[in-house]
A = this chain, B = another copy of it.
Amino acid sequence: MSQTVELKVDLGERSYPIYIGENLIGDTGAYLNKHGFKTGSPILIVTDETIAPYYLDTVVNSLRSAGYTVVTHIVPAGEQTKSLSMLEAIVTTALTGNLDRNSAVIALGGGVIGDLAGFVAATYMRGIRFIQIPTTILAHDSSVGGKVAVNHKLAKNIIGAFHQPDYVLYDVTTLRTLSPREVRSGLAEMVKHGLIWDEAFVDWLEESASKLLNLDLDALKYGIHQGCRIKSVVVAEDERENDLRAILNLGHTIGHALEAVAGYGELLHGEAIAIGMVGASLLAQKLGYSSDIYTRTKALLQKFELPVSLPKHYDVDAIMEAMSHDKKFKEGKMVFVIPTAIGKVEINRNVPAEWVRETVEQLKGEA
């Protein structure tokens, strides 16, 4: 059997392990057992309609064989599912399934399921235990840090909590059914983790791009491990998002603005931040940092077949408007995560908004 790696996310009392390996979901029951969950309290699995046909039975059977009572709730796939009304529906399932204070919620899915099911776990009876079984590459990001949330019609992720899981069970074989576009989108966050923290990991990403795109299991295990490790080091130093944690937003200022103005489904999150990371490297150049940063960032993202330019039909005014909630915007300045070298970033609070506009224009010219 292939090796399962264990990574510890170090958060004092709330520390937890991430297990990364192959064919782990068939052992879901054994892992619950190992973590001291008693069979007397029902376990709720939340998943989505796309994932359920592939993996739900395996997880349910593993739990039942280990003696657990299982309740399941299947939601529609997609971002709109992260809503208060979905929370209410899942709580109905939890109540009719007799979930109690010793129960656990398992998120079987990507970041959407992790955020939604995690918020259920954070609030049901004022908080019960929570386990993540990520099924996307992007979820290597969401499985570290304890952020859980649902959306409001006026803002994403605005209603939420910090609720750390008891553990994360990352079975890389589940990634095989992911669409190639979702694979690339998830890899964009992995690239981001390299760019903010670790040049050696960036070197490895450059060499391993095609292995990762082809879902080579060893490459996935290594990449996910490193991505989770970097995020967990950042989060451990700054659990509640004050300063250091902000570096995780590399590419996200422009990325979020693009997501806000894009038509529904036009840009996946990873695609938007890929363009955003190119933008940040252009800003680095304007701020006087080496132009190698831009060249290497762009080439790396291209290896991952991610977009590096902005389609011409995007409205620059609308993109700028979407970034204007920045408190410094009134003074003509913006706060940006800027790469200062490959594997290093700074939080720059004095980026001229005018340069940002120029950069967005420039992104249309990239190819």
Q: Is the CB of B92 within 8 A of A154?
A: yes
Q: Which of A79-95 contact B (CB under 8 A)?
A: 84-85, 87-88, 91-92, 95
Q: Which of A144-169 contact B (CB under 8 A)?
A: 147, 149, 152-155, 158-162
A84, A85, A92, A162 — which one has the most chain B CB atoms within 10 A of its CB? A84
> Which residues of chain B are within 8 angstroms of A159 by Cβ–Cβ distance?
87-88, 91, 123-124
> Which residues of chain B are within 8 angstroms of A125 by Cβ–Cβ distance?
158, 160
Tell me if A122 counts as interface (CB < 8 A to partner B).
yes
Q: Is the CB of A95 within 8 A of B154?
A: yes
Tell me if A126 counts as interface (CB < 8 A to partner B).
yes
Tell me if A127 counts as interface (CB < 8 A to partner B).
yes
Chain A 212-250 interface 0/1 with B at a Cβ cutoff of 8 Å (1 = within): 000000000000000000000000000000000000000
Q: Chain A contact residues (Cβ within 8 angstroms of B): what range?
A: 20 to 34
Count this chain's copies in the assembly: 2
Taking the nearest CB of chain B, how far is it from the CB of A254, in angstroms?
21
Q: Is the CB of B161 within 8 A of A95?
A: no
Taking the nearest CB of chain B, how far is it from the CB of A57, in angstroms?
28
> Which residues of chain B are within 8 angstroms of A149 by Cβ–Cβ distance?
126
Tell me if A96 counts as interface (CB < 8 A to partner B).
yes
Docked Cα-Cα span, A63 to B247, in Å, equals: 35
Q: Is the CB of A161 within 8 A of B84?
A: no
Q: Is the CB of B126 within 8 A of A161?
A: yes
Given contact pairs A84-B84, A126-B147, A147-B126, A91 touches B152 in the complex (Cβ within 8 A): yes
Given contact pairs A88-B84, A88-B152, A152-B88, A95 touches B126 in the complex (Cβ within 8 A): no
Q: Is the CB of B91 within 8 A of A161?
A: no
Taking the nearest CB of chain B, how far is it from the CB of A42, in angstroms?
13
Q: Is the CB of A158 within 8 A of B127?
A: no
- Please tell me which one of the listed residues B87, B122, B147 contacts residue A161 in the complex, with CB atoms under 8 A apart: B122
Q: Is the CB of B161 within 8 A of A123?
A: yes
Given contact pairs A123-B159, A124-B158, A152 touches B92 in the complex (Cβ within 8 A): yes
Q: Is the CB of A95 within 8 A of B162?
A: no
Taking the nearest CB of chain B, how far is it from the CB of A108, in angstroms?
22
Taking the nearest CB of chain B, how far is it from the CB of A178, in angstroms?
28
15 A-B contacts (beta carbon < 8 Å)? A84-B88, A87-B159, A88-B152, A91-B152, A92-B152, A92-B153, A95-B154, A95-B155, A123-B160, A123-B161, A124-B159, A125-B160, A126-B149, A126-B161, A161-B161
List the 9 shortest-distance A-B pairs measured between CB atoms, nearest first. A126-B160, A95-B154, A123-B159, A84-B84, A91-B152, A84-B88, A126-B161, A95-B155, A126-B162
